Amino acid sequence: MNNLSRQHNLSRQHNLSRQHNAVRFLPQLRALLPPFLFLVIVLVSWQLIEVWINIPKILLPSPLEILEGAFEKRSQLASAAWITSRAALSGFALALLLGTSSALVFSVSQLARRAIYPYMILLQTVPIVAIAPLVIIWFGGGLNSIVAIITIISVFPITTNVTTGLTSIDPGLDDLMTLYGANNWQKLWKLRLPTALPYLISGARVSSGLTIVGAIVGEYMAGYQSQSPGLGYYVFLASTNAQSEILYASIFISTMLGILLFGLVTLVGKTALARWTYEMEQ
Partner 1 sequence: MTRGRVPENTAKNAIQIQDLGVILTDTVILDSLSLEIPQGQWVAIVGPSGCGKSTLLRTIAGLTQPSKGTITWSQPSSPRPPLAFVFQDPTLLPWRTVYDNIRLPLELSDGRQSTQQTAIAEKVQLVGLDERDMNKFPRMLSGGMKMRVSLARALITNPAVLLLDEPFAALDEILRQQLNEDLLRIWTTSRTTTVMVTHNVAEAIFLAERILVMGDHGQLLADVAIPFTYPRQRALRTTLQFAEVNQQISEILFTKSRGDAGK
Give the shortest CB-99-to-partner 1 separation in angstroms: 21
Q: How many residues does the chain have?
A: 282
**Distance spanning both ends of the chain, measured CA to CA:** 50
- Binding flag, residue 188, partner 1 (CB under 8 A): no
Binder of partner 1 out of 60, 67, 93, 177 (CB under 8 A): 177
| 275 is a site residue for partner 1 (CB under 8 A) | yes
Give the shortest CB-170-to-partner 1 separation in angstroms.
7
Q: Which of 179, 185, 240, 281 binds partner 1 (CB under 8 A)?
A: 179
Q: How many residues of this chain interact with partner 1, rule: CB under 8 A?
A: 20
> Angle formed by the axes of helices 74-108 and 143-167, to 10°?
40
Among 34, 35, 56, 172, binds partner 1 (CB under 8 A): 172
- Which C-beta is closer to partner 1: that of 56 or that of 172? 172
- Of 131, 173, 188, 251, which one interacts with partner 1 (CB under 8 A)? 173
Q: Does 122 bind partner 1 (CB under 8 A)?
A: no
- Residue 276 is a binding residue for partner 1 (CB under 8 A): yes
263 sits near partner 1 (criterion: CB under 8 A): no
Region of 27-35, 76-84, 109-117, 173-181 interacting with partner 1 (CB under 8 A): 173-181
Determine, following the binding rule CB under 8 A, whether residue 270 of this chain makes contact with partner 1: no
Q: Based on the shown chain and the rule CB under 8 A, indicate whether residue 181 belongs to the binding site for partner 1.
A: yes
277 binds partner 1 (CB under 8 A): yes
- Which residue type is seen at 202? S
Q: In the 3-class helix/strand/coil scheme, how is the chain assigned residue by residue? A: CHHHHHHHHHHHHHHHHHHHHHHHHHHHHHHHHHHHHHHHHHHHHHHHHHHHHCCCCCCCCCHHHHHHHHHHCHHHHHHHHHHHHHHHHHHHHHHHHHHHHHHHHHHHCHHHHHHHHHHHHHHHHCCHHHHHHHHHHHHCCCHHHHHHHHHHHHHHHHHHHHHHHHHCCCHHHHHHHHHCCCCHHHHHHHHHHHHHHHHHHHHHHHHHHHHHHHHHHHHHHHHHHCCCCCHHHHHHHHHHCCCHHHHHHHHHHHHHHHHHHHHHHHHHHHHHHCCCCCCCCC
Nearer to partner 1, 60 or 177 (CB): 177
Window of 103-111, 118-126, 212-220, 273-281 that interacts with partner 1 by CB under 8 A: 273-281
Q: Which is nearer to partner 1, 127 or 172 (CB)?
A: 172
Query: Of the ranges 109-117, 150-158, 178-186, 211-219, which one interacts with partner 1 (CB under 8 A)?
Result: 178-186
| Smallest separation (angstroms) from partner 1 to the CB of 272 | 10
Contact segment (CB under 8 A) with partner 1 among 2-10, 155-163, 167-175, 213-221 equals: 167-175
> What is the Cα–Cα distance from 34 to 12, expressed in whole angstroms?
34
- Closer to partner 1 at the Cβ: 105 or 173? 173
Q: Spell out the residues 6+ positions from residue 272 whose beta carbon is closer than 8 angstroms to its own.
A: 197, 201
Q: Which parts of this chain interact with partner 1 (CB under 8 A)?
A: 170, 172-173, 175-182, 186, 190-191, 194, 197, 275-278
